[in-house]
């Protein structure tokens, strides 16, 4: 009988690739930057606060990676392309910058709407556009990863602005997958449950909110930043070579029922 030729395992190494992580100065952004760096990518960590991104980039370099800091306010749409113009094109983009302002729908203001939708959707849209334009111009493929949320798949009281923004991100992910797929650019989203980060910490000081949240997470615990690292590496690497327009729920079972 002829021998069996075993298929090669797709590599999850990212050597020689360049990655941009927005909102990279804290929380999930640090986790995203760390896993990409450890897989061999050269990582640019972007956020508004110079001290934070410089500290993260320094930590990545100290761990043996190649990293640089980029001070960038992604809500300043006009500044995005000029900020990226002086840098080599990115093969990987992680759209992690985001915010939330929970409260009753009947009390939401236009200012809160603009804040949440402006960062979670508008800024994400135009950062993605700037990165994708370079990839298309160079005739190269790439991987775009949108850090969305379980709230892009369900609704929740006092989360109308956040849910609206994340449902929009889910729709945008699919639309861009269709449009950019023929150019070899894959677009996927990761949808975490509540993760313990500096942004969410104040919410969990409320014991009732913490109990109600844990009751919906079937695995019985809040997420940790490292819980999304595997998903980021999957979508950034060749291991997800046939995945685009996909949404990966990292929600501890929140949306399972």
| E strands in the chain | 18-22, 42-47, 66-71, 92-95, 142-147, 185-192, 247-250
Q: What CA–CA distance (Å, rounded) separates 234 from 52?
A: 26
Strand ordering across the sheet containing 18-22: 66-71, 42-47, 18-22, 92-95, 142-147, 185-192, 247-250
Q: Is 174 a catalytic residue?
A: no
Q: What φ, ψ does residue 95 adopt, rounded to 5°?
A: -85, 90
Catalytic residue (choose from 125, 162, 183, 216): 162
Catalytic residue (choose from 125, 166, 183, 218): 166
Q: What CA–CA distance (Å, rounded) separates 148 from 151?
A: 8
Among positive and negative, which fits the CA dihedral 220, 225, 227, 228? positive
Q: Is 166 a catalytic residue?
A: yes
Q: Which two tokens stand for residue 153?
A: 């798949």
Question: Could you give the residue numbers annotated as active site?
Answer: 162, 166
């Amino acid at each position: 009988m002829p021998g069996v030729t075993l298929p090669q395992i797709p590599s999850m190494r990212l050597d020689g690739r360049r990655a941009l992580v927005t909102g990279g100065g804290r929380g999930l952004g640090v986790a995203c930057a760390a896993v990409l760096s450890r897989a061999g990518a050269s990582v640019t960590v972007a956020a508004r606060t110079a001290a934070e991104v410089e500290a993260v980039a320094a930590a990545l370099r100290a761990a043996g990676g190649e990293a640089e800091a980029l001070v960038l306010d992604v809500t300043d749409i006009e500044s995005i392309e000029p900020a990226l113009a002086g840098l080599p094109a990115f093969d990987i983009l992680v759209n992690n910058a985001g915010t939330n302002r929970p409260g009753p729908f009947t009390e939401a203001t236009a200012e809160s709407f603009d804040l949440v939708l402006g960062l979670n959707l508008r800024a994400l849209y135009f950062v993605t556009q700037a990165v994708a334009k370079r990839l298309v111009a160079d005739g190269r493929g790439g991987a775009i990863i949108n850090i969305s949320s379980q709230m892009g798949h369900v609704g929740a009281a006092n989360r109308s602005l956040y849910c609206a923004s994340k449902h929009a991100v889910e729709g945008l992910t699919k639309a861009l997958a269709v449009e950019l797929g023929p150019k070899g650019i894959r677009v996927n989203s990761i949808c975490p449950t509540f993760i313990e980060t500096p942004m969410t910490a104040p919410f969990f000081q409320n014991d009732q909110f913490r109990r109600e949240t844990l009751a919906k997470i079937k695995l019985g615990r809040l997420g940790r930043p490292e819980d999304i690292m595997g998903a980021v590496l999957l979508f950034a690497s060749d291991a997800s070579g046939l995945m685009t327009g996909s949404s990966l729920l990292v929600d501890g079972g929140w949306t399972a029922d």
